[in-house]
């Protein structure tokens, strides 16, 4: 399989098609019959900011995954409202005539406030590149295609199908491609890189599908050291074939950058 097409290549390859922006997604970036959620969201952001280049910084994202996203999806941005402080853009992701995702981006100017609170977690003691690979080489044929575009190291928690007592994964992750490590679109793509938090509790393989994803961007400064991000996902509750998980992303020094929550459908 060809892994030469990077995330940056796909963003640069977005082309205007009627009233939308069309992407080309190679098989190496897919998760079964669809694009993985981070890729869909990152490309939607790239399309939104290409359509409306004068938006303020991104503050929040709400994603509803409604169907499979194929190899040539169209991203149709609509300016829902432009206010004095906040601007809202909706992006419908269309694939083969069907809605694959509906995404709402909220952009807002920074302003002075009397309230400020940041909870740093601190950087891990070991250099991030020295932690064990999340996916050992022998297991690479069994993970979703897109995952091999990322360098992901297990810091705490458990790998999928390990039969763990809890659902927790904490990693250091970065795009393997150096050009794909900068910018908000790339950050959104990697923020969804980890498997669902419920999977470490399972002992068998089975399909999973994200239902929605709610993301808060905590800072305008989305820089980090050497492309590394600390990413944590924790299972809150699971039952009747669905799970709810929280997701947090810090820069390499432990400064919080993203808080998120996701609902996942479990077919196992």
Range of the domain at 215: 7-110+121-266
Cα–Cα separations (whole angstroms), residue 200 to 38, 76, 149, 203, 249: 20, 36, 22, 8, 19
Distance (Å, whole) CA 203 – CA 162: 6
* pLDDT tens-digit readout, 138-186: 989 999 999 999 999 999 999 999 999 999 999 999 999 999 999 999 9
Q: Residue 186: inside a domain, yes or no?
A: yes
Q: pLDDT value at position 241?
A: 96
pTM of the predicted protein model: 0.96
* pLDDT tens-digit readout, 92-120: 999 999 999 999 999 999 998 999 888 89
Distance (Å, whole) CA 139 – CA 135: 6
Assign residue 99 the CATH number of its domain: 2.40.160.210
Q: Residue 185: inside a domain, yes or no?
A: yes
Q: Residue 1: inside a domain, yes or no?
A: no
Distance (Å, whole) CA 228 – CA 217: 17
Q: Residue 116: inside a domain, yes or no?
A: no
CB 238 within 8 A of CB 198: yes
Cα–Cα separations (whole angstroms), residue 85 to 81, 112, 113: 11, 12, 14
Q: pLDDT value at position 259?
A: 98
Mean predicted lDDT score pLDDT of the chain: 96
Distance (Å, whole) CA 213 – CA 260: 7
Q: Residue 79: inside a domain, yes or no?
A: yes
Confidence of residue 200 (pLDDT cuts 50, 70, 90): very high
Q: Residue 115: inside a domain, yes or no?
A: no
Distance (Å, whole) CA 177 – CA 4: 9
Q: What average pLDDT does range 32-39 have in this prediction?
A: 93
Q: What's the number of domains the chain is made of?
A: 1
């Amino acid at each position: 399989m060809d892994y030469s097409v990077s995330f940056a290549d796909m963003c640069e390859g977005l082309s205007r098609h009627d009233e939308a922006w069309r992407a080309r997604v190679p098989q190496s970036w897919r998760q079964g019959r669809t694009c993985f959620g981070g890729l869909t969201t990152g490309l939607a952001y790239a399309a939104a900011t290409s359509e409306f280049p004068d938006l303020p910084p991104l503050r929040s994202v709400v994603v509803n995954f409604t169907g499979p996203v194929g190899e040539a999806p169209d991203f149709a941005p609509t300016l829902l409202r432009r206010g004095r402080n906040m601007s809202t853009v909706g992006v419908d992701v269309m694939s083969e005539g069907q809605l694959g995702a509906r995404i709402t981006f909220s952009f807002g100017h920074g302003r002075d406030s009397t309230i400020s609170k940041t909870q740093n977690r601190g950087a891990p003691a070991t250099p991030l590149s020295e932690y064990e690979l999340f996916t050992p080489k022998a297991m690479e044929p069994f993970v979703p295609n897109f995952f091999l575009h990322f360098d992901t190291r297990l810091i705490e928690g458990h790998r999928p199908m390990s039969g763990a007592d809890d659902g927790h994964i904490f990693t250091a992750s970065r795009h393997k491609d150096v050009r794909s490590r900068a910018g908000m679109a790339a950050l959104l793509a990697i923020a969804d890189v980890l498997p669902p938090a419920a999977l470490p509790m399972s002992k068998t393989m089975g399909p999973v599908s994200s239902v929605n994803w709610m993301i808060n961007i905590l800072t305008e400064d989305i820089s980090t050291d050497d492309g590394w991000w600390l990413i944590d996902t924790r299972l809150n509750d699971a039952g009747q074939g669905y799970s709810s998980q929280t997701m947090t992303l810090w820069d390499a020094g432990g400064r919080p950058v993203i808080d998120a929550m996701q609902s996942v459908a479990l077919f196992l």
